Structure formats: C-alpha cells, structure tokens
C-alpha cells in the first residue's frame, strides 16, 4: 500500500525539507517503519521508548484521528493521506 505522509515542520530535517513524502505499509505502524528506513531518525521522534505514539503527537489517516481508531494498527489503504501533527496547539 502506498500512502502520502504530510511531515510537520519540525521533522522536515529528516526529509530533506520535503513537506510530503511517499511511504509503504498496510498499517500506520508499517508506514512509520518504512519512513524510518528512508529517513533515518524520524521514528524516534514520533514514537516513545516503548514504541508507542508519543503523547504530544497526533496522527490522522485521511480525516480520522488514529486514537479513535486502532492506533499504530490503524489500516492505511492504498492512496491514503497520513498527517503527523504536533498536538500542543489550540485552546
């Protein structure tokens, strides 16, 4: 499954400044592994030491917050858009 991942500004040092990159994977977890393979260091920014999503990271698959879905097990269908967004906004 090929998806498009929107990269927040603070992670663009890992993607050579690109705001969007392509990645492969049937689940969000697999997509993050694929990102790490091509952009070394990015996974450790998004995941904590236990391999879970950091608490101040929001990830959306299309329009769905993965915390309302299956977290890292959330399916990422072919052509899906994945957005990684800092959670510390708003209010």
Q: How many residues of this chain interact with other proteins, rule: CB under 8 A?
A: 27
Give yes or no for residue 49 binding other proteins (CB under 8 A): no
What is the sign, positive or negative, of the torsion defined by CA atoms of 53, 58, 61, 66?
A: positive
Of the candidate residues 62, 73, 79, 87, the single one contacting other proteins (CB under 8 A): 87
Of the candidate residues 60, 61, 74, 80, the single one contacting other proteins (CB under 8 A): 60
Give yes or no for residue 85 binding other proteins (CB under 8 A): yes
The tokens for 48 are: 């904590």
Give yes or no for residue 54 binding other proteins (CB under 8 A): yes
The tokens for 13 are: 């040092």
C-alpha–C-alpha distance, residues 10 and 28, integer Å: 20
């Amino acid at each position: 499954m090929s998806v498009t991942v929107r990269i927040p500004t603070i992670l663009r040092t890992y993607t050579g400044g690109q705001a969007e990159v392509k990645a492969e994977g049937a689940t969000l977890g697999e997509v993050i592994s694929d990102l790490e393979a091509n952009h070394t260091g990015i996974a450790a920014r998004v995941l904590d030491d236990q391999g879970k999503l950091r608490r101040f990271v929001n990830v959306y698959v299309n329009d769905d917050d993965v915390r309302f879905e299956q977290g890292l097990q959330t399916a990422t269908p072919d052509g899906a858009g994945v957005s990684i967004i800092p959670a510390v906004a708003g209010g």
